Structure 1
Amino acid sequence: MPQPVRSLRVLMMILGGMQAVLGLGLLTNSVAVATAIWGEGDASTPCCTTPGEAHSGVIVFAGVLMFAVAAWGVSTALKFPTRQPGLRVSAFAYGWTALPFTLAFYEVIPILGLIWLVAAILAVVRPNQPECRAWFGYQPL
């Protein structure tokens, strides 16, 4: 496996691991995160539920979605030694999918958001390098 392909594989595993950690944080703290976003209830809120509790399902959905995207990236990276041409396209699409998560990481820790942005851009650029194209058997039309 050439060095650019190996570094793309490691990069995708790191991105997937970080997404899984953020997804786990969203799942385990869904009410707290929803309360931070939608706020506490006041005298006008209906009995027994605050806006944070009412919207916690949205946060759980976001956590599950984040886990799914993380699993996609890690499973694609683990299949690299098979050299299937579709894996290069999957890695490229995963890089584009990882870019919007920059905002979530930037809200948690700003420096982490900037690091994530650089890593996501590298995940978009690396699959198009000549060594990666040759490894996956890309044939231009």
Structure 2
Amino acid sequence: MPQPVKRLRVLMMVLGGMQAVLGLALLTNSVAFATAIWGEGDVSTPCCTTPGEAHSGIIVFAGVLVLAVAAWGITTALKFPTRHPNLRVSAFAYGWTALPFTLAFFEVVPILGVIWLVPAILAIVRPNQPESRAWFGHQPL
């Protein structure tokens, strides 16, 4: 496996791992996230649920979606040694999917959003390098 492909593989695993941590945080703290977004409620709130509790299902759905994207990136990276041509396309698409997470991270911690932007862009660029194209196209290097 050429060096640029190894770097792309590690990069995708790191991005997937960070997304998995974010997804687990969303799943385990869904009420806290929903309360931070929709608020506590006031006297007009029904007796049994606050807006945060009522909207926590949306946060759980977002957490499951983030975990699915993380699993996609990690699975694609783990299959790189098979050299299947569609894996390069999957890695490229995963890079484009990782890019919007920059906005989510930027809203939470701005410096984290800037730090996330660089690997996300690299995940878009690296599958199109000549070494990556040759590796996944089964061409001799």
CA RMSD of aligned residues (A): 1.1
TM-score normalized by the length of structure 2: 0.96
Quick check: 2:41–2:51 contact (8 Å CA) kept in 1? yes
C-alpha separation between the residues in 2 aligned to 1:2 and 1:109? 35
Quick check: 2:40–2:52 contact (8 Å CA) kept in 1? yes
C-alpha separation between the residues in 2 aligned to 1:58 and 1:84? 36
Match of 1:107 in 2: 107
- The 5 A counterparts of 1:1-141 are 1-137=1-137
Percent identity over the alignment is: 86
The runs of 5 or more residues in structure 1 that have no matched partner are: none
**CA deviation after TM superposition for structure 1 residue 138, in Å:** 7.2
C-alpha separation between the residues in 2 aligned to 1:65 and 1:119? 20
The runs of 5 or more residues in structure 2 that have no matched partner are: none
Deviations 1:15-66 (A, max 9, x none): 0000000001001100000000000110111221100000000000000000
Query: What is the DSSP-based 3-state SS (H/G/I as helix, E as strand, rest coil) of the residue aligned with 1:45?
Result: coil
Aligned length: 139
C-alpha separation between the residues in 1 aligned to 2:25 and 2:108? 11
TM-score normalized by the length of structure 1: 0.96
